[in-house]
Amino acid sequence: MAWSIADVARMSGVTSRTLRHYDEIGLLPPARIGSNGHRYYEEADLLRLQQILLMRELDVGLREIRAVLDSQVDEVAVLREHHQRLLAERDRLETLARTVGRTIAELEKGKDKDDMAKINRPENLFEGFEPSHYEAEARERWPEAWEQSRQVVDTMTDEDTEQWQRDVTAQMIRMAEFMVADTPVGDPAVQTEVDAHYQGVCRFWTPNACAYKGLGQTYVDDPQMRANYDKIADGLAVYQRDAMVAYADARLS
């Protein structure tokens, strides 16, 4: 029995675009390609996809996954190694939960203050977050760029990550101050701040105009990302998105 790429996408939750990318890099070629150019997958391919998704959940890179599947190395040993990563991730999530708890407490204390006072200023606002969370859109829409970003993240020390967290927090606070002051998103000062944001993103991957606008839209559409921005100042996610669109139109098109 064979399934079309649309069938596999529906069953697995993996987009057709990603499945085509897996084919292009030799990770998951279809069993056959029909005369109409459509890809068809058989049961063995579905089992391979299941293994790919499992290792992706464990944050294994695509090149490493292909090496594991093609070499038929001991999968138990691979899973044991990545089990340690899951334990580390558990610890990170516990830290993140404490961060959110502190933010809730800050917001509750500032309920009755003026707009400027509602901007959350703790330097540890993003403790527990990782840079890759801000490239989630790239993982789905631009897999190669996302892989590049992961390689950069893997080289970051704990000190690098902490500095990144402080920089992101400070940058978001500055954008919130512009927003509260009703500064237009096209204002040169705002665009200078957005340029700093763009250069920060370019540490991990280099988006073109369309991709950078897509990342900004993700800040609005993704509940977690929007909450991260709006915890600092209500409406900041939309303001950041609009400023990124203006920047992309002016400098990246």
- DSSP annotation of 4: E
Pick from 216, 224, 219, 222: nearest CA to 249: 216
User: Structure tokens of 77?
Assistant: 């040993």
The model's confidence at residue 181, banded by pLDDT at 50, 70 and 90, is: confident
Residue type, 164: W
pLDDT tens, position by position, 132-156: 444 444 566 566 666 666 677 677 7
Same domain, 152 and 37: no
Taking 50 as the threshold, does the pLDDT of residue 23 lie above it? yes
* Residue 158 sits in the same domain as residue 244: yes
Per-residue pLDDT, averaged over 15-21, amounts to: 92
* H or E element, residue 3: strand 3-4
Last residue of a domain, one of 45, 73, 101: 73
How many domains, in total, are found in the chain? 2
- Asked whether residue 110 carries a pLDDT value surpassing 60, the answer given is no
Domain that holds residue 184: 76-252
Residues 38 and 61 in one domain: yes
Q: What pLDDT is recorded for position 78?
A: 64
> Taking the mean position of all CA atoms in its chain, how far away is CA 192?
23
Quick one: pLDDT at residue 126? 46
| Average per-residue pLDDT for the chain | 79
Q: In which band, very low, low, confident or very high, does the pLDDT at 174 lie, cut at 50, 70 and 90?
A: confident
DSSP annotation of 2 = -
Percent of residues, the chain, with pLDDT higher than 70: 72
CA distance linking residue 235 with residue 111, whole number of Å: 16
**pLDDT over 80 at 242, yes or no:** yes
Residues 81 and 62 in one domain: no
CA pair distance 234, 156, nearest whole angstrom: 31
Residue 89: which CATH number?
A: 1.10.490.50
pLDDT higher at 15 or 143? 15
What CATH number does residue 31 fall under?
1.10.1660.10
The model's pTM: 0.47
pLDDT band at 250, cuts 50/70/90?
very high
**25-84 residue pLDDT tens:** 999 999 999 988 899 999 989 988 988 888 787 767 888 888 888 876 666 676 677 677
Q: Which residue has the higher pLDDT, 138 or 91?
A: 91
Q: Check whether residue 56 and residue 95 sit in a common domain.
A: no
Beta bridge partners of 3: 41
Question: Comparing 80-94, 190-204, 219-233, which segment has the lowest mean pLDDT?
Answer: 80-94
Residues 134 and 203 in one domain: yes
- In contact, 176 and 236? CB cutoff 8 Å: yes
Number of other CB atoms surrounding residue 95 within 10 Å? 13
